[in-house]
C-alpha cells in the first residue's frame, strides 16, 4: 500500500496549489486541477483494489473516507469547470481535511 500513499502525497502538493488560489479568490490552475484529480483517481483505484482483495477493516475505512473526499472533489470540480466560478472556500478547506483523514488511516494500515 505504499504506492497510493506516495501518489496521494504528491497529489496533495497540487491540491495545496489549487487551495492557495481559491483562498486568494484567484482562478484555479487547470493543469494542477487535472493532475490532482488524476493522481487521486489512480490512488483511489489502488486502494479500492487492495480493499477488495484484502478486506482489512482499516483499509476499508480509509477507502470510504477517500471516496467521500473524491465526491467532494467532484463537487468542487463541477463548480470550477461547470459553473466557471471559484469554489466556496469552506468546502475547499473541508475537502482536503477529509482527504488527509483518509491518508492517515491508510498510513496507519500500512505501518
Query: Where are the domains positioned within the chain?
Result: 2-110
Report yes or no: 59 and 1 within 8 Å, Cβ to Cβ: yes
Query: For the whole model, what pTM was predicted?
Result: 0.93
What pLDDT does 55 receive?
81
Helix and strand counts by DSSP (H, E) for the chain: 4, 0
Q: For position 83, what pLDDT does the model report?
A: 87
Using a 10 angstrom Cβ sphere, with 0-12 exposed, 13-18 middle and 19 or more buried, the burial of residue 55 is exposed
pLDDT at residue 1 in the model: 81
Q: What is the pLDDT of residue 84?
A: 87
pLDDT at 29: 96
- From the first residue on, what is the mean pLDDT of each consecutive set of 10 residues in the chain (111 residues)? 96 98 96 97 97 91 98 96 92 98 97 92
Which pLDDT does position 16 carry in this prediction? 98
43 and 7 in contact (C-beta within 8 Å)? Answer: yes
Q: Decide if 47 contacts 63 (C-beta within 8 A).
A: yes
Q: How many C-beta atoms surround the C-beta of residue 94 within 10 A? A: 14
Amino acid at each position: 500500500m505504499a504506492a497510493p500513499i506516495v501518489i496521494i502525497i504528491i497529489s496533495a502538493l497540487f491540491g495545496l496549489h489549487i487551495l492557495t488560489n481559491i483562498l486568494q479568490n484567484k482562478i484555479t490552475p487547470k493543469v494542477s486541477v487535472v493532475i490532482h484529480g488524476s493522481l487521486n483517481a489512480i490512488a483511489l483505484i489502488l486502494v479500492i483494489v487492495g480493499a477488495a482483495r484484502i478486506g482489512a477493516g482499516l483499509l476499508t475505512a480509509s477507502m470510504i473516507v477517500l471516496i467521500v473526499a473524491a465526491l467532494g472533489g467532484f463537487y468542487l470540480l463541477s463548480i470550477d469547470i461547470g459553473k466557471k466560478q471559484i469554489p466556496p472556500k469552506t468546502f475547499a478547506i473541508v475537502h482536503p481535511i477529509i482527504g488527509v483523514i483518509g491518508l492517515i488511516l491508510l498510513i496507519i494500515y500500512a505501518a
